[in-house]
Amino acid sequence: MRTLAFASRNTKEITRDIITLFFGILFPLILLILLSAINNAIPKEAEMNLFRIQNLAPGISVFGLSFVALFSSMLISKDRSSSFIIRLFTSPVKAHEFILGYTLPLIPMSLTQTLVCYIASLFMGLEFTVNILLATVVNIPIALVFIGLGLLLGTVLSEKAVGGICGALLTNLSAWFSNIWFDTSLVGGWFETLANALPFAHAVNAARYALSGSYDKILGELVWVTGYAAVILIIAIILFTLKMKRNK
């Protein structure tokens, strides 16, 4: 009950900032439209497979979730800078309940953002299949990765600092190492190794496999992403626990 009550409060805080909320949902759509237009202008013999809507839609749906990290980091850092969080630290609410309370409202937001991306893709040539629903669900682990990263950074950094890191650094990191704009195997070397070590490319691969119906390949990619999500959220809980003890 305590977690749900705190999650309800956070939902109200998120929906209160309508402009930022719409920007987070609509910006991936702008990218989708632009890249789809570029793909239509490319001669067919060029074979730019990554920009075809079947590959582009899952990639943009994952990349768009990087903006959720900004929401979670700003939410928790704002609370830390006010007396609100100090009062909560004196309550019986535990650290994992705080983190869960911040996480729960952002999951529906992430699913909504993904669905909006796929619905828009239908108007750009994506064929409607039930695999769209599976691809949406498959995005939950990478959404938890971004939410966890936002909460982790928001726990230790100021509101101004998380805006720069989550708003610029993390979005660029997820863009370059995710197989969305180009195949990292074409670069090879340390770049490909690092891309395969991070969860972003695995999340994009899982979404593409789900959309294409390659069900046997999804789990191998999701295990990697889910592992990252679990570790990041655990670290966020540990750091939040330390913050609570210092401020009591």
State the residue for tokens 């938890």.
Answer: 144
How do the residues of the chain divide into helix, strand and coil, expressed in percent and rounded to 5? 85, 0, 15
Of 128, 111, 119, 13, which Cα lies nearest the Cα of 64?
A: 111
Q: pLDDT (tens digit, 0 to 9) for every residue of the chain, 248 residues total?
A: 677 877 888 777 777 777 767 777 777 788 888 877 776 766 665 555 557 888 889 999 999 898 888 888 888 888 777 766 666 666 677 878 888 888 998 998 899 889 999 999 998 888 999 999 999 999 999 999 999 999 998 888 877 777 777 777 788 888 888 888 777 887 878 888 998 999 999 999 999 999 999 999 999 999 999 999 999 999 999 988 887 777 65
Contact 135, 211 (CB under 8 A): yes
